[in-house]
Amino acid sequence: MAYQEEKTLLKKNLTTMLCLAVLLFSGPAFAASLHDMLPDAIKKSGKIIIGVNGIFPPMEFKEPGSDALVGIDVELAQAMAKELGIAIEFDDQQFDQLINSINTKRVDMVISGMSDSAERRKTLDFIDYFNSGTQCFTTKELAGEIKSLEDLSGKTLAVSASTDYLTTMQKWNKDNLLDKGKPGITIMAMDSAASARMQMLQGRAQASALSPEALGWANVQQKGAFVAVGPLLESNPYGIAFSKDNAKLRDAVYAALKKVFADGAYLEILKKWGAESGALERPLINGEAVN
């Protein structure tokens, strides 16, 4: 009897140990670490080289008198590198050279406020992480009067002439006001976004338009002087760019970025730079959700 009880107890213990082993080795706890997902060449070098064009605040730029890159893209890259257990090195170069630098393998990836477009997807893969576009805004003093884009009817909007914001607002004005017989927006085309904001602050215009990240940066600089009006127009996602033959690095970075989203660090970084209006719910690969 005693022998039978010992045999039964031993069998239970073995079953318990086997269950624990299955949980340990088949569940997420035994899934390959994010570092192990990296390509062998990256693990061997000990770093990821990231292409940036450091003149685009608040995405990536240098403070006056400093050579250190700061901004949203910089902090996101640092957060992803921490998850991956790898060092990163920024290669600051001209924007029009970034794609070529991926193709020639000068850099491993690019995160530099680069739009994920159908044309670029012909040769690159993207991890979308931020939604840019055209964001109309007014001053804090006028925010009670101008609560929607329709409230701009009969008012003046100043905007930089060299941007898509001008053509986006001209189209919205025609489609939503002029073609419906309503008083349109008087649109002032200025030589820069700074000049457009000055028209607002001096009372010559009641609104302007920028990307959500640029508006956030303007508010950081001018202590919350501006308030967004209406939805984001002509939504345009920014993506981290990779060579199509580097899917292994893309997937490792994607896994790391999902963790940065999940633990709240992503939104915290955007809020720091006043750009939370461009936040995505989750990162995407070439515009698609991937588990």
Q: Which residue has the higher pLDDT, 275 or 243?
A: 243
Buried b (16+ CB within 10 A) or exposed e, 3-32: eeeeeeeeeeeeeeeeeeeeeeeeeeeeee
Q: Please, which pLDDT band fits residue 80 given cuts at 50, 70 and 90?
A: very high
Q: Please, which pLDDT band fits residue 162 given cuts at 50, 70 and 90?
A: confident
160 - beta bridge partners? Answer: 190
pLDDT per residue over 90-102, tens digit each? 999 999 999 999 9
49 within 8 A of 86, measured Cβ to Cβ = no
Buried b (16+ CB within 10 A) or exposed e, 156-181: bbbbbeebebbebbbebbeebbeeee
Within a 10 A sphere around the Cβ of 208, how many other Cβ atoms? Answer: 30
Query: Strands, DSSP E only, in 64-163?
Result: 69-70, 87-92, 109-110, 124-139, 156-160
Q: Please, which pLDDT band fits residue 277 given cuts at 50, 70 and 90?
A: confident
Within a 10 A sphere around the Cβ of 2, how many other Cβ atoms? Answer: 6
Here the tokens at position 175 are 């489609």
All domains in the chain, ordered by first residue: 35-132+236-285 (3.40.190.10), 134-234 (3.40.190.10)
- pLDDT for 17: 39
Average pLDDT score, the chain: 89
- Distance between CA atoms of residues 230 and 135, nearest Å: 8
What angle in degrees, to the nearest 10, is found between the helix axes of 247-262 and 265-272?
80
- pLDDT for 221: 87
pLDDT per residue over 205-262, tens digit each? 999 999 999 998 898 888 889 999 999 999 889 999 999 999 999 999 999 999 999 9
pLDDT per residue over 163-197, tens digit each? 889 999 999 999 999 999 999 999 999 998 889 99
Counting residues of the chain whose pLDDT is more than 70, the rounded percentage is 89
pLDDT at 25 over 90: no
240 within 8 A of 253, measured Cβ to Cβ = yes
pLDDT per residue over 30-39, tens digit each? 235 999 999 9
Q: What is the pTM of this model?
A: 0.78
pLDDT at 2 over 70: no
pLDDT at 11 over 60: no
Q: What is the mean pLDDT of residues 55-70?
A: 94
- Distance between CA atoms of residues 215 and 274, nearest Å: 8
- Distance between CA atoms of residues 193 and 211, nearest Å: 11
